[in-house]
Amino acid sequence: QTVVTQEPSFSVSPGGAVTLTCGLSSGSVSTSYYPSWYQQTPGQAPRTLIYNTNIRSSGVPDRFSGSILGNKAALTITGAQADDESDYYCVLYMGSGIWVFGGGTKLTVL
Amino acid sequence: EVQLVESGGGLIQPGGSLRLSCAASGFSVSNFYMTWVRQAPGKGLDWVSVIHTSDNTDYTDSVKGRFTVSRDNSKNTLYLQMNSLRAEDTAVYYCARGRPAYNFDYWGQGTLVTVSS
């Protein structure tokens, strides 16, 4: 059973930068997994931030960027703002019509 | 404007059945793959099922044989028939639109399913 790994929590100072990662329990994440990133605040539906590794969804500020760093997918947030405090999830397409979400990262801005 | 509106959630006893609906507007469900994602209370997102444009379907292992995804193109609506429900199926169920390489681009607001006696 493949597990998609994310940092459980992270903190960033207002105005600072942070990189969240999305890895595999076995193997490396590549663009072939079409990594996507979603932001979710309590009680709300997920919001699509990044798809296909590095393409920003409509309306997402360019403070959010996606990439492959080493053997993981990465979401970098620059110029962190208070309303960036959210849960962030990645999802990977495993092939054969199967997707797997990471466990999510709770980002605190303080 | 793309919109997805789920309905059909509620309180159901273990072993019972429930059918969720996801009414789409602003696009045709027949032209996209459509997926269900759930989130147990206080937990992360969990992919559940997909119906492809070909009408092929796929499921996460824990719901295979119990859940069935389908769509009615004339009503532009996605469904999730859930049978033999278990306590661990308790979650908010979201429908989402998908595109190849994009994964899930639009999401509904979710509907809560509570399985409890």
Residue B69 — φ and ψ, nearest 5°?
Answer: -100, 140
Q: Tens of pLDDT along B30-67? A: 999 999 999 999 999 999 999 999 999 999 999 999 99
Residues of A in contact with B102 (CB under 8 A): 34, 36, 51-52, 55
- For B31, the token pair is 């032209």
Residues 6+ away with beta carbon under 8 Å from A42: none
pLDDT at residue B100, as a whole number: 85
HEC string for chain A: CCCEEECCEEEECCCCCEEEEEEECCCCCCHHHCCEEEEECCCCCCEEEEECCCEECCCCCCCEEEEEECCEEEEEECCCCHHHCCEEEEEEEEECCEEEECCCEEEEEC
Nearest CA to CA, how far is B77 from chain A (Å)?
Answer: 19
Between CA B83 and CA B67 the distance in angstroms is 6
> Residue A81's pLDDT band (boundaries 50, 70, 90)?
very high
pLDDT at residue A7, as a whole number: 98
pLDDT at residue A1, as a whole number: 77
Q: Tens of pLDDT along B64-93? A: 999 999 999 999 999 999 999 999 999 999
Of B56, B58, B104, the CB nearest to A36: B104
Is A62 a residue whose pLDDT tops 90? yes
